[in-house]
Amino acid sequence: MADSAIFLQRLESVVERQRFAPLTPEARAENLRHTMQGRAGAIWVFAYGSLIWQPAFRVAERRKARLAGYRRSFCLWSALARGTPDTPGLGLGVIEDHSSVCDGIALRVEETGRLEQLAALWDREMWTDAYNPIWEPLDTNEGRIVALVFEANKDSQQFVGGLSDRETAQIIARARGKFGTCREYLERTDKALQQTGIVCPDISRVRDALPLGKAVR
């Protein structure tokens, strides 16, 4: 009971300050310019969450890929896409963990209209300061590539660390936002990963902790 009370207090404190301001269009454009500065050739993006099943750009090539030194985590509050300010959900991020690896999909951005596509990607992933866009090496069956990775920004007000699997499942089970339920977000990501032969223990544990309900087909 004490643990439940502490959890509810933490959630209430988040709700009180859950008014995440979007970046200005100018700040978002400058972030994109800075990230892409000096980059030539193919642009790869590492998809580890909803970008796997709903990319924000035209994909020229897909490769199963592994990001070393990071792990996938439901570590970002969502007050719009998969939650509301009063009932926030959780989004996925990758956080540095030298003992872990994160398996996902490398997506190569189609060259035609690439700048416009990247701007659309930034409008989606960099709506707030929830992520830091960084360049990291990925291992694929076709060899090593360098890809854009949206790392969870630990300095953002949206970042949350230390939630147990049970607490994470409780939050996900009750949240619904502009693009649907948080539960659907988890289940679609889990399904997309499994369809490519990837089993993520971090997602599986949270999925198994969810109360019984309608699953994504």
Cα distance between residue 161 and residue 88, in whole Å = 15
Cα distance between residue 163 and residue 216, in whole Å = 24
Residue 135's nearest CA partner among 28, 46, 33, 31 is 46
Cα distance between residue 52 and residue 191, in whole Å = 10
Active site residue 142: no
Compute how many other C-beta atoms are within 10 angstroms of the C-beta atom of residue 127. Answer: 15
50-72 in b/e burial notation, b at 16+ Cβ within 10 A?
A: bbbeebbbebeeebbbbbeebbb
Identified catalytic residue from 125, 142, 151, 184: 125
Q: Which residues are catalytic?
A: 125
